[in-house]
Amino acid sequence: MRIGVLALQGAFREHLQALVSLGIEGVAVRLPQHLRGIAGLIVPGGESTTIGKLAASYDLLPAIRDLAKAGKPIWGTCAGLVFLAREIVGYECQPRLGLLDIKVRRNAFGSQVNSFETWLSIPVLNKVALPEEHGQPFPCVFIRAPLIEAVGEGVEVLARLDGLGIVAAQQGPFLVTAFHPELTRDRRFHRYFVSLVLDNLRGPLPR
Each residue's pLDDT tens digit in the chain (207 positions)? 999 999 999 899 999 999 999 999 999 999 999 999 999 999 999 888 899 999 999 999 999 999 999 999 999 999 999 999 999 998 877 889 999 999 999 988 876 767 899 999 999 999 999 999 999 999 999 999 999 999 999 999 999 998 789 999 999 999 999 999 999 999 999 999 999 999 999 876 445
Q: What domains, with CATH codes, occur in the chain?
A: 2-202 (3.40.50.880)
- Would you say 91 and 59 are in contact if contact means Cβ atoms under 8 Å apart? no
Phi and psi at 34, nearest 5°, equal: -70, -15
Among candidates 3, 25, 29, 5, which has minimal Cα distance to 15? 5
Show which residues are catalytic: 78, 180, 182
pTM (2 d.p.): 0.94
Taking the C-alpha atoms of residue 114 and residue 134, their distance in angstroms, rounded to an integer, is 30
Using CB atoms within 10 Å of the CB of residue 204, give its burial: 0 to 12 exposed, 13 to 18 middle, 19+ buried.
exposed
